[in-house]
Amino acid sequence: MKITEAVTNAVLDTNTILRAGVSREGVSVETGYKRSTRNAYIQRLMLRKLLVVRGQDLYASPTLFDSSHFATKEPHA
């Protein structure tokens, strides 16, 4: 999805991704979306808790990088 790519492209690596954000205008530049489309996608991502807003900037949700989120369950015997 272009919005998440724009947010993650705003940083250099996963160690800094939680501290670096991108403005809504930066998302528009990266994606080429008009304001209304951009805001609709941002709202959807926020509802799914994949994107957070702090001040004027957008950030990837910390849950995207929580290692326990990716833990696999042991198969049943």
Q: Is 68 inside a domain boundary?
A: no
Q: Is 12 inside a domain boundary?
A: yes
Q: Is 20 inside a domain boundary?
A: yes
Q: Is 69 inside a domain boundary?
A: no
Q: Which residue has the higher pLDDT, 68 or 34?
A: 34
| CATH number of the CATH domain containing 7 | 1.10.10.10
pLDDT per position as a tens digit, 13-37: 444 445 678 889 888 888 888 999 9
- What is the DSSP secondary structure assignment for residue 70, as one 8-state letter? G
Per the structure, the complete domain to which residue 45 belongs is given by: 2-62
8 Å CB contact between 21 and 30: no
What angle is formed at CA 44 by the lines to CA 18 and CA 26, rounded to 5 degrees? 55
Q: Is 76 inside a domain boundary?
A: no
Q: Is 72 inside a domain boundary?
A: no
What is the reported pTM?
0.63
Q: Is 70 inside a domain boundary?
A: no
